[in-house]
């Protein structure tokens, strides 16, 4: 087992260790309250399981790992743009936050919780990032983006892959009657129905809603509660069998195992930052039976 030199000087509380996971550097949390894994590449949380529960997050068995690779699954940090950007001109999808190596800045215990703080490297000057993970019986993730010396228009998202028993048997509450853009139909404007949202095919919807979303998972007999803050949109995504075959890092038969429910500031709800200004998006998750 090796430890990353840049992080080895940070004092670690009991239950926290620097380890090599999938061949790359990660912070592993193993306490009486929960177990979690945060990779330094992308400040990417790939696992959180409160004691006695299966993992909240789905992680592709075919994911790539390492410098400049985008891990498939867990909670990718998306920014400073979403998708190809608002004008569609960005060649790197979802920005660079998820493909750089972050630095572990602090690790502490707070009651039964562990709090980890990761920051972008020193050479990130136009925009800097700070990610804080509070890991316990609930999970909280907060991403703060701060502009450098010039103004910026920022999009950001927490691209969470929630593990489900069968995406065809879940219901999403909290998005009822909301306006949305359908990215499977060229960002066509539409309105969700008055009842819980159910997925019946390839889904990529940018929903004009920022409240709590509850995913009722009939197959696993649990409810996943997502409570966002500092956001304006909720993206719901699953490739279905229609698109998964074009994705080399997801097995063709794995699409029923997850749904992405992503708190975001994106499209027309981007954030304008003056020099030195910051914006934080965050979410808290809990699992209910």
Helix (H, G, I), strand (E, B) or coil at 54: coil
CA atoms within 13 A on the CB side of 30: 5
| Per-residue b or e along 113-141, where b marks 16 or more CB atoms closer than 10 Å to that residue's CB | bbbbbbbbeeebeebbbbbbbbbbbbbbb
43 three-class SS: coil
To which H or E segment does residue 240 belong? helix 240-243
d(CA 213, CA 144): 22
117, 159, 257, 279: the active-site residue: 159
Query: Which residue shows structure tokens 């430890």?
Result: 3
Residue 112 annotated among the catalytic residues of the structure:
no
Structural contact between residues 74 and 95, judged by C-beta atoms closer than 8 angstroms: no
**Catalytic annotation on 279?**
no
The whole-angstrom separation of Cα 232 and Cα 28 is 31
Q: What angle do CA 281, 83, 125 make, to 5 degrees?
A: 60
Burial zone of 274 (CB within 10 Å; 0-12 exposed, 13-18 middle, 19+ buried): exposed
Residues with active-site annotation = 159, 262
């Amino acid at each position: 087992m090796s430890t990353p030199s840049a992080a080895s000087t940070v004092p670690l509380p009991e239950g926290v260790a620097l380890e090599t996971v999938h061949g790359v550097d990660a912070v592993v949390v193993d306490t009486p309250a929960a177990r979690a894994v945060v990779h330094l590449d992308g400040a990417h949380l790939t696992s959180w399981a409160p004691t006695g529960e299966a993992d909240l997050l789905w992680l592709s068995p075919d994911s790539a790992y390492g410098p400049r690779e985008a891990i498939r699954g867990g909670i990718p940090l998306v920014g400073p743009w979403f998708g190809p950007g608002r004008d569609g001109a960005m060649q790197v999808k979802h920005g660079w936050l998820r493909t750089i190596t972050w630095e572990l800045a602090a690790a502490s215990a707070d009651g039964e919780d562990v709090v980890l703080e990761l920051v972008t490297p020193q050479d990130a000057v136009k925009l800097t990032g700070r990610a804080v993970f509070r890991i316990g019986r609930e999970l909280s993730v907060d991403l703060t983006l701060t502009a450098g010396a010039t103004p910026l228009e920022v999009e950001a998202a927490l691209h969470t892959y929630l593990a489900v028993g069968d995406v065809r048997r879940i219901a999403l509450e909290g998005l009822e009657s909301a306006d949305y853009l359908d990215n499977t139909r060229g960002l066509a404007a539409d309105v969700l129905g008055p009842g819980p949202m159910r997925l019946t095919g390839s889904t990529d919807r940018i929903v004009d809603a920022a409240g709590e979303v509850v995913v009722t998972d009939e197959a696993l007999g649990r409810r996943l509660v997502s409570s966002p803050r500092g956001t304006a949109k909720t993206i719901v995504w699953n490739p279905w069998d229609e698109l998964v075959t074009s994705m080399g890092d997801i097995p063709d038969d794995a699409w029923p195992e997850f749904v992405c429910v992503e708190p975001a500031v994106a499209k027309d709800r981007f954030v304008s930052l003056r020099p030195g200004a910051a914006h934080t998006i965050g979410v808290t998750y809990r699992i209910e039976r």
